Amino acid sequence: CAPLERHLQEHGILARITPHMRLVTHLDVSREDVTRTVAAFKGYFQVAGRQATAG
């Protein structure tokens, strides 16, 4: 999903979104980094959900 990849990239998160996606972290990823990533996903889907129900 290219729009989600772009959204995450705009928030400094590198991800490749595929139909069978999994997320992993490295040892140097902090709890705050994970929290920021979750917030970015949440923000994307909140906007996408509003757009879907409005259209």
Give the type of residue at 41.
F
Name residues whose C-beta falls within 8 Å of residue 36's C-beta, 6 or more positions apart in sequence. 11, 13
Other Cβ atoms less than 10 A from the Cβ of 45: the count is: 13
Which of 3-7, 34-38, 49-53 comes out lowest in average pLDDT? Answer: 49-53
Domain coordinates of the chain in residue numbers?
A: 2-54
Mean pLDDT of 7-33: 91
What pLDDT is stored for residue 55 in this prediction?
66
Residue type, 17: I
Predicted pLDDT of residue 2:
92
Distance CA(54)–CA(17), nearest Å, equals 25
Q: Cα(16)–Cα(30) distance, rounded to whole angstroms?
A: 20
Per-residue pLDDT of 25-45, as tens digits, reads 889 999 999 999 999 999 999
